[in-house]
């Protein structure tokens, strides 16, 4: 609740304009494509000499398939498929969650997740790897125009793939209780 002196500083017209701006920002979304080649290049950042021949392929429905070989005395071929999804609504910050969907051979999943955990932008928990994209968002020109307090409410709202073999990540406003709103 605003006191009388604050009402003088924020006349009703300005407050209403701010509310309209916040509402229009809430409805906007930014979708950015990440090419299969760019994603595959991140595999080169995995510093693990016991892995070789790592290949990444994007599939329909926001799926990433990774294949390669792991040295366990002998070179063992493996293949894993992750499904990329937005993080749960209660999580803050911009991220994409990768959940293990399929693993061959079954015993391959621990070393894959350990290898992903070595990447700076990854957080691994259970059968999930969270790709933190907060820093990338903060470096975008459009994001710099948004006040930092509101920028923290931007979140990943959709992840899918397209026919051009790109991962499409859509950013929008947090739809929870913390969505941007100006109240008198």
- pLDDT tens, 9-68? 444 555 565 566 566 556 678 788 888 888 888 877 788 888 889 899 999 999 999 999
Instruction: Tell me which H or E stretch contains 19.
Output: helix 12-27
Give the whole-angstrom CA distance, residue 160 versus residue 64: 10
Full-model pTM? 0.72
Question: What phi-psi label fits residue 93: left (phi over 0), alpha (psi between -120 and 50 degrees) or beta?
Answer: left
- pLDDT tens, 65-82? 999 998 988 999 999 999
Q: Do residues 144 and 135 lie in contact, with contact meaning Cβ atoms separated by under 8 Å?
A: no
- 147: number of Cβ within 10 Å: 9
pLDDT value of position 24: 59
pLDDT for 107 beyond 90: no
pLDDT value of position 138: 73
Burial class (CB in 10 A: 0-12, 13-18, 19+), 110: exposed
Q: For 107-120, what is the mean pLDDT?
A: 82
Q: What residues are paired with 159 via a beta bridge?
A: 169
Give the whole-angstrom CA distance, residue 93 versus residue 77: 35
């Amino acid at each position: 609740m605003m006191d009388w002196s604050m009402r003088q500083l924020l006349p009703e017209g300005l407050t209403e304009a701010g509310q309209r701006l916040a509402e229009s920002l809430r409805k906007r979304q930014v979708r950015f494509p990440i090419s299969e080649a760019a994603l595959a290049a991140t595999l080169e950042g995995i510093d693990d000499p016991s892995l070789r021949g790592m290949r990444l392929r994007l599939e329909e429905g926001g799926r990433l398939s990774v294949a390669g070989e792991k040295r366990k005395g002998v070179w063992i071929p493996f293949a894993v498929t992750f499904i990329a999804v937005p993080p749960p609504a209660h999580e803050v910050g911009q991220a994409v969650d990768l959940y293990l969907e399929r693993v061959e051979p079954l015993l391959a999943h621990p070393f894959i997740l350990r290898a992903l955990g070595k990447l700076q932008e990854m957080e691994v928990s259970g059968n999930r790897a969270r790709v933190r994209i907060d820093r990338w968002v903060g470096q975008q020109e459009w994001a710099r125009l948004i006040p930092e307090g509101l920028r923290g409410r931007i979140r990943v709202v959709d992840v899918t793939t397209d026919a051009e073999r790109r991962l499409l990540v859509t950013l929008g406003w947090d739809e929870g209780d913390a969505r941007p709103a100006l109240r008198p």
